[in-house]
Amino acid sequence: MDRISLDDVDASATPGDGRSRCLTDALDLSNAAINHYRIPPGEGLPAGLHAHMDQEEIFVVLDGVAVFETMDGERTVAPGEAIRFAPGEYQSARNGGGQTDLAVLAVGAPRDSEDVRLPAACPDCEHGNLRIDTDDGLTFVCPDCGESFVPDGCPDCGAPAMQMTLDAEQSGDDPDPVAACQECGATFPEPPLSD
């Protein structure tokens, strides 16, 4: 049995002013991954809208309120509640609790996820999603035709912080995914790619 204190695990910065603690290695886990996040008001968990094709994820809200963005709409999760995403289900989360920090445990099983997808079409064959590859820097790979693409920064402000999200300006129950700049807020129908 391994026992740790969250305070004994080094915290890493997340985009914005959030903090994350990877508990996986500290607990010597072999079959699951676990992370503790503390996210301030107005910020979100890292990664934007994505799906793990080879991993299910469970989020347990400890403090604050989490709002999960899914392809089926938003889901609010309060303290003491949990939500599960099956492999292939797109999700992202943000602090939806006003002035309170969001504290959440994220558990993924199996431990290592090697097939993470974005809800963006391949520019060559229009396959419905792109796989994230970080072996030689960040690239997007089409799982259908095999073509690779290098993401680019925001065409409007040049910031490198782009994430997938659902189009907030689109009405109805079925909004389209868009690439959103984390600096200026500009949105684009597809992620900007380098030439």
pLDDT (tens digit, 9 = 90+) per residue, 31-73? 999 999 999 999 999 989 999 999 999 999 999 999 999 999 8
Instruction: Check if the beta carbon of residue 57 is closer than 8 Å to that of residue 82.
Output: no
Asked: is 6-109 a CATH 2.60.120.10 domain? The reply is yes
Domain boundaries, the chain: 6-109, 115-195
Instruction: Check if the beta carbon of residue 58 is closer than 8 Å to that of residue 83.
Output: yes
pLDDT tens figures, 157-174: 999 879 999 987 765 667
- Which element (helix H / strand E) includes 38? strand 33-39
